[in-house]
Amino acid sequence: MGGTNTKWQVIGAAALTAVLALFLLAIRSASSPPPVELRVAETAPGDGVLKVFISGAVPRPGVYQVQAGDRFADALALAGGPSDDAELLGVNMARRVRDEDHIHVPRRGEQLATATGDPAIDINTATMAQLEDLPGIGPVRAQKIIESRTKEGAFRQPEDLVQRKLLPQSMFESIRERIQVRP
């Protein structure tokens, strides 16, 4: 009979332990805050995903999704890279993309245009009047630009205007999108 009592004692101790564990769990659950639910939001504009339109001398023109911080060169790669007839000097490949940018890759010989649709001025062939149409360029600066290209040779890049001390950097930045140098 002693074995039966021991068996019931073991079962009773196990049951008491289980009841105590459930009781402690119930107390702990009642005092702890509700679980935090985390939700992953859908990507919204401004969350680092940008859309750009790529046109011109590329195999697959269209709208592409890029990441904040990407450069024009990264976006161009999504459109299949430049076509054989692309004039890459017409695109600032190092510029960072912004949402809703239109990146147009001109073809060789194509008249380049500014963001406003106006044709970009080739500083190697521009007349005095064309140069004076640029913001901040009066007759004196226009004449100096023409003299510089005559005496020092053609400009290799628009930035030569600053390097040759014909324009201060701030003025150059204000007209950068309106000028070009054709090969």
Q: Distance between CA 183 and CA 125 in Å, rounded?
A: 11
Q: What is the pLDDT of residue 40?
A: 40
Q: What is the pLDDT at residue 30?
A: 55
pLDDT over 90 at 139, yes or no: yes
| C-beta pairs of 165-174 under 8 Å, 24+ apart in sequence | 166/141, 167/141, 171/136, 171/137, 174/135, 174/136
Phi-psi region of 161 (alpha: psi -120 to 50; beta: other; left: phi over 0): alpha
With cut-offs at 50, 70 and 90, classify the pLDDT of residue 104: confident
Q: Check whether 110 has a pLDDT greater than 80.
A: no
Among the listed ranges 103-112, 130-139, 153-162, which one has the minimum average pLDDT value?
A: 103-112
Closest CA to 52 of 94, 104, 2, 10: 104
Size (the chain), residues = 183
Q: What's the mean pLDDT in 154-179?
A: 92
- What tokens appear for 34 in the block? 């509700």
Q: What is the DSSP letter of 119?
A: B
Counting residues of the chain whose pLDDT is more than 90, the rounded percentage is 34
Reading the block at residue 176, the tokens are 């950068």
Residue 63 has a pLDDT of 93
